[in-house]
Amino acid sequence: MTETCYSKGQKVILVTSQVKNGKWLCKFSIPGFSHLDGGLQGQDLSKSYKTEWEARTNAFQRAKLVLGRPQDMTQGDILERD
């Protein structure tokens, strides 16, 4: 399922999927940003949630963190600071 949200006037696209064990994963994209969200990378089940709502909420929180950082930072810079 795809959902469009907004934070600080910026569009955030959330993409939710359910995995075989019945849990939920969600990744986000921000048009105009080069950040790649690892929320679904490799179907990492450690990042799965019991409900679709929890998965979407967590992805949106990750997106808001990205929007709060300078755009010229690389993903490596972001990972080092977390």
The model's pLDDT over 11-45, given as tens digits with 9 standing for 90+, comes to: 999 999 998 889 999 999 998 877 666 544 444 56
Asked whether 45 and 21 are in contact (CB, 8 A), the reply is: yes
Q: What is the mean pLDDT of residues 46-55?
A: 88
- Residue 75's pLDDT is 46
Instruction: List the domain boundaries for the chain.
Output: 2-81
CA 80 to chain centre: 18
Token code pair at residue 30: 């921000």
Query: Please, which pLDDT band fits residue 58 given cuts at 50, 70 and 90?
Result: very high
Distance CA 76, CA 57 (A): 24
Return the H-helix or E-strand segment holding 27. Answer: strand 24-29
Distance CA 50, CA 23 (A): 5
